[in-house]
Amino acid sequence: MSSEATMLERCQSKCELCGSDTPLTAYPVPPHSHVTVDQALMACEKCLGEIDSPEDINHWRCLNDSMWSQVPAVQVTVWRQLTRLNSESWAQDALDMMYMEEETMNWAMQGMSDDDKPLDCNGVELKKGDDVTVIKDLPVRGTNQVIKQGTVIRGISIGDDPKLVSGKANGGQSMYVIAEFCRKK
C-alpha cells in the first residue's frame, strides 16, 4: 500500500485538520519535503491554501478538534497554526491546553521562523497580554501626534503581522506600535 493510501485510511478520507471530506492532498510537514506516513498529513484544498498564512480565521476554529490527534504531523501543523493565530483568544486557549512529546515540539518549533514571533528591542518574545514600554518617541502615521518614550502599553495583542503589537495607552487610546520599539516590562 502506498503512503497516500495508508494516510487516507488513517484519516478515513477526511482532512486531518478540518474534517472536510472534499478531495485531499498529501502535505509533507516542513522541514520535510517528501510524503511519508510519519512526516505528512492529508489536507483539503482550503487548509492547504491557508496553511502558511491563515486568512479565514473562523475556518481554523476546526483546530480545537484536530489538536487532539495522535498523529505527530497533525500535531505539529495544528501547533504552528495556533501559534500564528495566537492573537485570537480561542487559539491561545487551545495552545495552552495542547500537549506534545518533546520530539514533536522540537519538530514544530524547527519549522517556525523568528519572523513569526514579535520580538522587543532586546530580542525577547512578546506574547498576548504583556505590558510593554515604548523606548523612543514615535510619530503617529497620518497625524501630528507622537507616542512619547516611556509610554506604557498594557495588555498587548498580537495581530497577523508579527512585527506589530497593539494595545491601549494614554487614557484608553488604542494604538499599533512596531514591536522592536518596545521593551517588555
**All 3 cell numbers of residue 153?**
502599553
Give the CA dihedral 112, 42, 37, 10, nearest 10 degrees: 130
Q: How confident is the model at residue 2 (pLDDT cuts 50, 70, 90)?
A: confident
Three-state DSSP at 150 gives coil
Residue 9 and residue 163: Cα distance in Å, rounded? 41
pLDDT digits (tens, 9 = 90+) for 72-128: 999 999 999 998 888 889 998 999 899 999 899 888 887 565 556 788 887 788 888
Domains of the chain, start order:
3-112 (no CATH), 132-184 (2.30.30.40)
Chain position carrying cell 471530506: 21
Nearest to 91 by CA among 124, 55, 67, 117: 67
Residue 73, Cβ density class (10 Å: 0-12 exposed, 13-18 middle, ≥19 buried):
buried
Q: Which helix (H) or strand (E) holds 97?
A: helix 89-97
So what's the pLDDT on residue 63? 95
Q: Is the dihedral of CA 101, 43, 113, 31 positive or negative?
A: positive
Beta bridge partners of 158: 165
pLDDT digits (tens, 9 = 90+) for 27-85: 999 888 888 999 999 999 999 998 877 889 999 999 999 999 999 999 999 999 998 88
Q: What's the whole-model pTM score?
A: 0.61
Question: How many C-beta atoms surround the C-beta of residue 29 within 10 A?
Answer: 22
For residue 31, cis peptide bond before it (omega within 30 degrees of 0): yes
Identify whether the C-beta of residue 120 lies closer than 8 Å to the C-beta of residue 179.
yes
So what's the pLDDT on residue 77? 94
Q: Which helix (H) or strand (E) holds 107?
A: helix 102-110
